[in-house]
Amino acid sequence: MNLDDTIVAIATPPGRGGIGVVRIAGPGAREIVAPMLRLKHELEPGRAVFSELVEPCTNHVGTAASGCPAERNSAAADRIDEVVVTYFAKPHSYTTDDIIEISAHGSPVVLRHIVELCVAAGARLAEPGEFTMRAFLNGRIDLAQAEAVRDLIESQTLYQAKIAAQQLEGALSKRLQPIKQRLVELIAVLEAGIDFAEDDVSVMSDAQILERIASVRAPLAQLAASFAYGKIVHEGLTLAIVGRPNVGKSSLFNRLVERERAIVTATPGTTRDLVSETVAIGGIPVQLVDTAGIRQALDEAESIGIRKSMEALADADLVLVVLDASQGIKPEDKELLDQARTRPAIAIANKCDLVDQREALSFEPCSLPVSALTGAGIADLRWEILRHIGGETGAPSEAGFLTNVRHQGLVQNSLAALDAATGAVAVKVPHEMLLLDLYNALRPLDSITGATTTDDILNLIFSKFCIGK
Tell me the CATH number at 269: 3.40.50.300
Rounded to the nearest 10 degrees, the angle between the axes of helix 249-257 and helix 378-390 is 80
pLDDT at 355 over 80: no
Q: Are 237 and 431 in contact (CB under 8 A)?
A: no
pLDDT digit string, tens, across residues 26-72: 999 999 999 999 988 899 998 999 999 998 864 433 344 444 554 44
Are 415 and 442 within 8 A, CB to CB? no
Distance CA 371, CA 381 (A): 10
Mean pLDDT, residues 431-450 = 90
Q: Looking at the 3D structure of the chain, how many domains does it have?
A: 3
Gap between the terminal Cα atoms of the chain? 16
Whether the pLDDT of residue 14 is over 80: the answer is yes
At 283 the three-state DSSP class reads coil
Residue 135 belongs to a domain: no
Residues, the chain: 469
Confidence of residue 1 (pLDDT cuts 50, 70, 90): low
Out of 105-109, 265-269, 322-326, 426-430, which region has the weakest mean confidence (pLDDT)? 265-269
131 within domain boundaries? no
Residue 62 belongs to some domain of the structure: yes
Point out which residues pair with 219 in neighbouring strands.
none
Q: Of the spans 306-310, 320-324, 458-462, which averages the highest pLDDT?
A: 320-324
Regarding predicted confidence, which is higher, 412 or 358?
Answer: 412
Does the pLDDT of residue 221 top 90, yes or no?
A: yes
DSSP assignment letter at 225: H
List, as one string, the DSSP characters of 358-405.
Answer: HHHHTSSTT-EE--TTT-TTHHHHHHHHHHHHH-TTSS-SSS-----H
Domain end call among 365, 390, 415: 390
Domain-embedded: residue 150: no
- CATH classification of the domain holding 177: 1.20.120.430
Q: How far apart are CA 24 and CA 35, in angstroms?
A: 14
Quick one: pLDDT at residue 65?
Answer: 45
> How much is the mean pLDDT over the chain?
82
Confidence of residue 445 (pLDDT cuts 50, 70, 90): very high
The 10s digit of each residue's pLDDT in 253-289 is 888 888 776 555 555 555 556 788 888 888 888 888 8
The identity of residue 266, as a single letter, is A
Residue type, 150: R
Residue 146 within any structural domain of the chain: no
> What is the domain range of residue 24?
7-126
pLDDT > 80? residue 444: yes
| pTM score of the predicted model | 0.76
> Looking at residues 167-185, what average pLDDT do you find?
90
Task: Tell how strand 7-10 and strand 318-324 pair up.
Answer: unpaired
Residues 376 and 300 in one domain: yes
Q: Give residue 367's identity as a one-letter amino acid code.
A: S
Least confident of 28-42, 368-382, 389-403: 389-403
Residues 6+ apart with CB under 8 A from 446: 180, 452, 453
Does 334 lie in the same domain as 196? no
- For residue 199, the model assigns a pLDDT of 54
Distance CA 268, CA 295 (A): 10
Please say which residue of 126, 147, 180 terminates a domain: 126
Can you give the pLDDT at residue 89?
94
Q: Is the dihedral of CA 317, 321, 322, 325 positive or negative?
A: negative
Model confidence band, residue 104 (pLDDT cutoffs 50, 70, 90) = very high
- pLDDT number for residue 63: 42
In a domain, 395, yes or no: no
Q: How far apart are CA 45 and CA 368, in angstroms?
A: 59
Q: Which of 344, 42, 402, 90 is closest to 226 using CA atoms?
A: 402
CB 249 within 8 A of CB 324: no
Average pLDDT over residues 233-241: 87
Q: Give just the sign of the alpha carbon dihedral 79, 83, 84, 87.
A: negative
Pick from 110, 126, 142: which residue ends a domain?
Answer: 126
CA angle 295, 300, 303 (to 5 degrees): 30
245 and 273 assigned to the same domain: yes
- Residues 165 and 206 grouped into a single domain: yes
Query: DSSP 3-state assignment of 462?
Result: helix
Burial class (CB in 10 A: 0-12, 13-18, 19+), 62: exposed
Return the pLDDT at 271.
Answer: 55
Residue 284, strand partner residues:
281
DSSP 291: -
